[in-house]
Amino acid sequence: MIQPAETILSMRQISNRFGNQMVHQNLNLDVYRGEIIGLVGGSGAGKSVLLRTAIGLNKPDTGEIILNASPIGVLFQHGALFSSMTVAENVALPLIEHTRLSRAQALHLAQIKLALVGLNQQAGEQYPAELSGGMVKRAALARALIREPDIVFLDEPTAGLDPLNAAAFDRLIKTLSKALGLTVVLVTHDLDTLYAICDRIAVLADKRIVAVDTVAKVVANPDSWIQSYFHGPRGRAAAHAARKEV
C-alpha cells in the first residue's frame, strides 16, 4: 500500500498522568489521511486515554496535538448513546443540530444509517437502555458516521459483536474508508480486524508507541511484547486465517 503523505493527526511528545500513575510518556504518533490505523496494546495500556487525548477531551500534561479534520466522528468504548432519546434520534441529533435538514429528513437519514450498520427500524425506535451491548455499538457507529466526518475514532468497535457481524463491520469500515477517503483510527483487541482492514498498526506499550508500520512488518518486530501478542495462540490463528483469504 502506498502511504499518502498528508498527516491528518499528529501527536508529539504526549505525556499523560493520573495522580502519580504515568499513562503516556513522550509519545509520538502520526496518522495519514485516508488510512485505517489500528491501535493495539494490553488492557489498561492507555489506548482509550490516547483516543480521548487526540479528540481533545483529555488535555495532555505535555505535548502537542494537531488534528486537521472537522467534523470528527467518535465511537466510545461503551457507546455513550444519549439515554433520553431513541436510537434514531441519537443518530439524527448531529444532523438536526448542525445542518438545516428538517427533523423528518434527519430521522430518515438516521434510519438509513442504522440499516447500513445492520439495525432495523424497530431498533431505531427503542431507547438505548433497551438494546443489547452489540446493538449499542452499532448505533454508536451510525451516530459517529452520520455527518460524513473526515476521521473517525473507534474504540473497540467489534467487541461484543458476533463473528458474522464483526466481519460485516470490518467490511463496512473498509468500504467507507476507501470510497469516502475516510481516515479511521481504530482501537481493537480483535486480531482478525487488524489483519483484515488495517493499513498500519501502532503498538502502545511501555507508555509510548513502540512500533507503527504495516501488519507484516509489525509482526516481524523483535519486541518481546509484540512477539507474544501476535504469536500467541490467537495471533497465530488469525494470521493463518488472513493468509488463507489472500
Ligand X SMILES: Nc1ncnc2c1ncn2[C@@H]1O[C@H](COP(=O)(O)OP(=O)(O)OP(=O)(O)O)[C@@H](O)[C@H]1O
Q: Give residues in contact with ligand X (CB under 6 A).
A: 18, 23, 41, 43-49, 77
Three-class secondary structure of residue 199 per DSSP: coil
228, exposed or middle or buried, with CB in 10 Å at 0-12, 13-18, 19+? exposed
- What CA dihedral angle connects 36, 41, 42 and 47, to 10 degrees? -80
- Does residue 96 bind another protein (CB under 8 A)? no
- Does residue 101 bind another protein (CB under 8 A)? yes
> With respect to another protein, which residue has the nearer C-beta, 148 or 206?
148
- The binder of 43, among another protein, Mg ion, ligand X, none, by C-beta within 5 to 8 A per type, is ligand X
Is 186 in contact with 39 (CB distance < 8 Å)?
yes
> With respect to Mg ion, which residue has the nearer C-beta, 48 or 158?
48
Helix, strand, coil % (nearest 5) of the chain? 45, 25, 30
Q: Whole-number minimum distance, CB 137 to Mg ion, in Å?
A: 13
- Does residue 221 bind another protein (CB under 8 A)? no
Number of H helices, E strands in the chain: 10, 9
Q: Whole-number minimum distance, CB 164 to another protein, in Å?
A: 16
Q: Which of 9, 45, 48, 151 binds Mg ion (CB under 5 A)?
A: 48
- Does residue 148 bind another protein (CB under 8 A)? yes
Is 111 in contact with 87 (CB distance < 8 Å)?
no
DSSP state of 157: T
- The binder of 44, among Mg ion, another protein, ligand X, none, by C-beta within 5 to 8 A per type, is ligand X
> With respect to Mg ion, which residue has the nearer C-beta, 40 or 139?
40
- The binder of 45, among another protein, ligand X, Mg ion, none, by C-beta within 5 to 8 A per type, is ligand X
> With respect to another protein, which residue has the nearer C-beta, 53 or 165?
165
- The binder of 18, among ligand X, another protein, Mg ion, none, by C-beta within 5 to 8 A per type, is ligand X
**CA geometry: angle 35, 40, 46, nearest 5 deg:** 115
Residue 73 pairs with which residues in a beta bridge?
152
Radius of gyration of the chain from Cα atoms? 18
- The binder of 138, among another protein, ligand X, Mg ion, none, by C-beta within 5 to 8 A per type, is none
Q: Whole-number minimum distance, CB 107 to another protein, in Å?
A: 5
> With respect to Mg ion, which residue has the nearer C-beta, 146 or 198?
198
- Does residue 109 bind another protein (CB under 8 A)? yes
Three-class secondary structure of residue 174 per DSSP: helix
Is 24 in contact with 16 (CB distance < 8 Å)?
yes
